[in-house]
Homo-oligomer: A and B are copies of this chain.
Amino acid sequence: MLELRHLRTLAALHETGSVSRAAKRVHLTQSALSHQIKSLQSHYGLSVIQRRGQSIELTDAGKHLVSLAEKVLQEIQATERDLAKVSQQASGSLRIALECHTCFDWLMPLMDEFRLHWPDVELDLVSGFHSDPVKLLEEGGADVVIGSEHKRQRDIIHHPLFRFEILAVLAPEDPLRTKRILHAADFADTTLITYPVPEDRIDLILNVLKPAGIHPQRRTAELTVAILQLVASRRGVAALPSWGIKNYVDHDYVIARRIGSNGLWSDLYASTLKETASRPYLRDFLTTARNTCFATLDGIVPLE
């Protein structure tokens, strides 16, 4: 018999295009999903997905079920918002602290949508730099911190968002363009253009350059566009999320290169206090965040 579990899986398959990624998305193993799909297929006597080389493709039947899933899951979310109103859990505050500057890109439209659904929740962005963002939660200065920190800590929950790749961004004429992959040494004589945050908050420096003993010059800019403008005009190179620069790369404004043979990856979490985690509007915020990110951001991968 069909269950929501199946629909959630179908939606994840559609989102991620692979069984193993979908499995992470719904916090199950690849095996579990494979079994699930099998039982679904035998229940309806038709196939839902088809192996397409290394990944998979949805069949016609699968597409029908996916569109059902999307419809149904949205309706459930809407009803759950209604339930929060009924039980008077539809108010409170959601002050978001952003550790990842580029995240403004997807957070802004998300906040607009959130405001529509939760008019009685005080929504705010906590601006400025914070040395210890998790402390901010404990001190009550913010309700969610969006960043890459995820070390286990009492009374704090790190809700996984997604994993993304950080690419080196170069001017199209940069001599390094000939290399398909950049390594630490390639940054030795460059100027690194970053957001105005300490060194230990920049993955490239922390995980690649510092271990290799390389300390390039730095120059900072507040906004992603400003950084890209500097890169394009050959003032230096930057390291930014692949989805944050996609448009600029597609239009040949800049070029992007992988950092290290496996790439430089970063994980994004939304951290809250334990007590905040159970609030309906926070749960809703998280699911819509994940949904919109997986739907709109290219190249991201489920986490956990």
Prevailing SS type, chain A contact patch: helix
Give which listed residue, B68, B76, B83, contacts A76 with CB less than 8 A: B68
Given A68-B75, A79-B65, A79-B68, check contact A87 B2 (CB 8 Å): no
Interface residues of A in 75-96 (CB under 8 A from B): 75-76, 79-80, 82-83, 86-87, 89
A130 at the interface (CB under 8 A from B): no
Residues of B within 8 A of A5 (CB): 3
Residues of B within 8 A of A75 (CB): 68, 71-72
Give which listed residue, B4, B45, B67, contacts A87 with CB less than 8 A: B45
Q: Give A82's nearest chain B residue, CB to CB.
A: B64
Give which listed residue, B44, B46, B86, B89, contacts A60 with CB less than 8 A: B86
A225 at the interface (CB under 8 A from B): no
Residues of B within 8 A of A45 (CB): 87, 89
Residues of B within 8 A of A1 (CB): 4
Given A46-B83, A64-B82, A64-B86, check contact A3 B3 (CB 8 Å): yes
Q: Give A6's nearest chain B residue, CB to CB.
A: B4
A32 at the interface (CB under 8 A from B): no
CB distance from A148 to the nearest CB of B (A): 27
A125 at the interface (CB under 8 A from B): no
A residues neighboring B (CB under 8 Å):
1-5, 44-46, 60-61, 64-65, 67-68, 71-72, 75-76, 79-80, 82-83, 86-87, 89
